[in-house]
């Protein structure tokens, strides 16, 4: 913790000491700020505002009826189910992977870290494709699944699998560097005092990384609810059955039912905004608790 102190100091120092010689002239400053605002407006702000204005174009009654449409409701339900399965599974994996990687030394560790990152490098479309190759009709297990009357592709299990794949690394990636930085002195002290492995995990390790954990869960959840490409390949687009919210948006849009498409999309946009707010709160909280720790140690 005390390692951070010098950079904190220089940060403070930098702010105080930034004089005319190390800052730009006012017109340079303002034109840079204006360029940034124009860039963010063109690519982020205008499209975001457009989602809501398009959604309300036909009035609030039409907006509401698009949302309580049975197909819309079943797509909301399926999205929630997929996220409710994918998030805890990837959370458990993230904690296990971070424990092994951060607290122990073993051969091939850096390869393992790279492999955990793989799903980020794979196109969502390919993520869907690989499950079709395994569970699809012509796939490895295709015929034996038919024999047992189990549907994976064009059904909910396929959607859940694809969602797990695309959100696979998020929690692990947040936790590994954090737990590496924490070291293992506290856990070893717990062990000496007679705590069991699970007690150490629940009472020492997880409380120490709670903000990073929450951050990872928020990112996982946002991506799980919003995934389109991977889910699109495995879903089969059966209305009211295997459509998640993003797929429902696509169907409505392709039927030129723009107001309804944007109405469902606006729910996802609200979810994104809530995600950004939670993310900022978590970042602020973790910075605050890091600062408090620093104060305690010095």
Partner 1 sequence: MTKHKNILPGFNLSLGYTIFYLSLIVLIPLSAAFIKTSSLSLHDFWAIVTAPRVLASYRLTFGASLIAALINAVFGLLTAWVLVRYHFTGKKIFDALVDLPFALPTAVAGIALTAVYSSNGWIGSWLEPHGIKIAFTPLGVVVALTFIGLPFVVRTVQPVLEDLEAETEEAAASLGANRWQTFYKVIFPAIWPALLTGFALAFARAIGEYGSVIFIAGNMPMVSEITPLIIITKLEQYDYAGATAVAVVMLVISFLLLFAINGLQWWFSRRTSGVV
Distances (CA, A) of 106 to 1, 56, 97, 102, 112: 26, 57, 13, 10, 10
Contact 197, 100 (CB under 8 A): no
Closer CB to partner 1, residue 212 or residue 226?
Answer: 226
Stretch touching partner 1 by CB under 8 A, among 18-26, 67-75, 208-216, 286-294:
18-26
Q: Which of 84, 133, 150, 238 binds partner 1 (CB under 8 A)?
A: 133
Closer CB to partner 1, residue 1 or residue 137?
Answer: 137
Q: How far is the CB of 240 from partner 1 (least distance, A)?
A: 18
Closer CB to partner 1, residue 138 or residue 296?
Answer: 138
User: Binding to partner 1 by residue 279, rule CB under 8 A?
Assistant: yes
Give CA–CA dist 29/26, Å, rounded: 5
Q: Which of 72, 82, 87, 132 binds partner 1 (CB under 8 A)?
A: 132
Q: Which of 5, 9, 23, 77 binds partner 1 (CB under 8 A)?
A: 23
Q: Where in 220-249 is the site for partner 1 (CB under 8 A)?
A: 222-223, 225-229, 232-233, 245-247, 249
How many residues at the interface with partner 1, by CB under 8 A? Answer: 108
Q: Where in 76-95 is the site for partner 1 (CB under 8 A)?
A: 93
Closer CB to partner 1, residue 209 or residue 261?
Answer: 261
Give CA–CA dist 204/98, Å, rounded: 14
Q: How far is the CB of 234 from partner 1 (least distance, A)?
A: 10
User: Binding to partner 1 by residue 202, rule CB under 8 A?
Assistant: no
Q: Where in 163-182 is the site for partner 1 (CB under 8 A)?
A: 164-165, 168
Closer CB to partner 1, residue 39 or residue 297?
Answer: 39
Closer CB to partner 1, residue 59 or residue 117?
Answer: 117
Q: How far is the CB of 71 from partner 1 (least distance, A)?
A: 16
What DSSP string runs through the chain?
Answer: -GGGHHHHHHHHHHHHH--GGGS--HHHHHHHHHHHHHHHIIIIIHHHHHHHHHHTTT-HHHHHHHHSSHHHHHHHHHHHHHHHHHHHHHHHHHHHHHHHHHH---TTHHHHHHHHHHHHHS-HHHHHHHHHHHHSTTSTTHHHHHHTT---TTSHHHHHHHHHHHTTTHHHHHHHHHHHHH-SHHHHHHHHTT--HHHHIIIIIHHHTHHHHHHHHHHHHHHHHH--HHHHHHH---TTTS--HHHHHHHHHHTT-HHHHHHHHHHHHHHHHHHHHHHHHHHHHHHHHHHHHHHHH-
Closer CB to partner 1, residue 3 or residue 296?
Answer: 3
Closer CB to partner 1, residue 173 or residue 296?
Answer: 173
Q: How far is the CB of 61 from partner 1 (least distance, A)?
A: 21
Site string for partner 1, 35-64 (x = CB under 8 A): xxx-xx-xxxxxxx-xx--x----------
């Amino acid at each position: 913790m005390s390692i951070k102190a010098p950079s904190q100091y220089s940060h403070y120092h930098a702010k105080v000491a930034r004089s005319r010689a190390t800052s730009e002239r006012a017109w340079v400053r303002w034109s840079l700020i204006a360029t940034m605002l124009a860039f963010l407006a063109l690519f982020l702000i205008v499209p975001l505002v457009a989602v809501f204005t398009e959604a309300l174009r036909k009035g609030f009654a039409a907006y509401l009826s698009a949302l309580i449409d049975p197909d819309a409701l079943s797509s909301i339900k399926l999205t929630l189910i997929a996220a409710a399965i994918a998030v805890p599974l990837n959370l458990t994996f993230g904690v296990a992977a971070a424990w092994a990687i951060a607290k122990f030394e073993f051969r091939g560790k850096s390869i393992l870290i790279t492999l955990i990152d793989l799903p980020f490098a794979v196109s969502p479309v390919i993520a869907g494709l690989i499950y079709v190759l395994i569970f699809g009709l012509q796939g490895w297990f295709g015929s034996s699944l038919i024999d047992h009357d189990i549907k994976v592709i064009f059904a909910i299990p396929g959607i859940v699998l694809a969602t797990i794949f695309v959100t696979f690394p998020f929690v692990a990636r947040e936790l590994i560097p954090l737990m590496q930085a924490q070291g293992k002195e506290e856990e070893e002290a717990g062990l000496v005092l007679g705590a069991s492995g699970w007690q150490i995990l629940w009472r020492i390790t997880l409380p120490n990384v709670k903000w990073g954990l929450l951050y990872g869960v928020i990112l996982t959840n946002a991506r799980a609810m919003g995934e389109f490409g991977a889910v699109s390949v495995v879903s089969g687009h059966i209305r009211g059955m295997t459509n998640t919210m993003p797929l429902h948006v696509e169907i409505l849009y392709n039927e030129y039912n723009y107001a309804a498409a944007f109405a469902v999309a606006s729910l996802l946009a609200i979810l994104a905004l809530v995600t950004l707010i939670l993310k900022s709160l978590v970042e602020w909280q973790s910075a605050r608790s890091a600062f408090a720790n620093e104060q305690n140690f010095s």
